[in-house]
Amino acid sequence: AQKITQTQPGMFVQEKEAVTLDCTYDTSDPSYGLFWYKQPSSGEMIFLIYQGSYDQQNATEGRYSLNFQKARKSANLVISASQLGDSAMYFCAIESGSARQLTFGSGTQLTVLP
């Protein structure tokens, strides 16, 4: 079974500063993928970034980067230069199994302060 742990229920960050959202995972699958999604107050799930377990380099997508430490089983999301529009719930998820299903963490509510 797969498990995702997000230990920060809520976080605050000042606008234009960087913030790190923590995610640790547990899986027995040798091959897996890690996703981060953003869920604003409107409710939709927005894909941010993906890291495969065999990827050598940390994934980056614009202001988002994934700090992947395989030995520690962590996949932290780093948001650089925070914007007010980044205020949302952020979910970490692990993809595994033959049908690529996702197991989600409980989420981190990020609030960006002006």
Partner 1 sequence: DAGITQSPRYKITETGRQVTLMCHQTWSHSYMFWYRQDLGHGLRLIYYSAAADITDKGEVPDGYVVSRSKTENFPLTLESATRSQTSVYFCASTSGYGNTIYFGEGSWLTVV
Residues that bind partner 1 (CB under 8 A): 4, 31, 33, 35, 37, 43-45, 47, 50, 52, 91, 93, 95, 98-107
The CB-of-81 to partner 1 minimum distance in angstroms stands at 24
The CB-of-48 to partner 1 minimum distance in angstroms stands at 10
Cβ atoms 34, 49 nearer than 8 A:
no
Please give the span between the terminal C-alpha atoms of the chain, in angstroms, as a whole number. 41
The CB-of-17 to partner 1 minimum distance in angstroms stands at 26
Backbone dihedral region for residue 30 (phi beyond 0: left; psi -120 to 50: alpha; all else: beta): alpha
